[in-house]
Structure 1
């Protein structure tokens, strides 16, 4: 009888672990915010060449990022 009771307790305990871990992981992920930044710049001398061989162009920069905040993420955004 003690073996069955111990086995049942062990099974119940193991079944509770995933729900506790899931709650903790959700709490951790609510502090992260993923973002992406797009920046455009015009430059009249891309190659830094002398005056007679200037070449102009646009420079596009895409920057992904991840921010961590101690306050929770708003449910609206």
Structure 2
């Protein structure tokens, strides 16, 4: 798949992130979910397997589901 040449306008992106428009809400929500998912995987996966830098969001979701990271995290804390 060939991608076109495009540039991110950092000022426009920042205005969306700080703004209360719909796009800003979606972006902040996605970033929050991605951060929570990364934390969940880092806690749930053995050391050495939790380097997630090269994984895209859908792959992180699949990994969390496949490994049952959320279940193992709760078991470690003694929660049900």
Q: TM-score range by the shorter chain?
A: 0.3 to 0.5
Which TM-score applies when normalising by structure 2? 0.33
Higher strand share: 1
Which TM-score applies when normalising by structure 1? 0.34
Higher helix share: 2
The structure whose Rg is larger is 1
Higher relative contact order (CA 8 A, sep 6+): 1
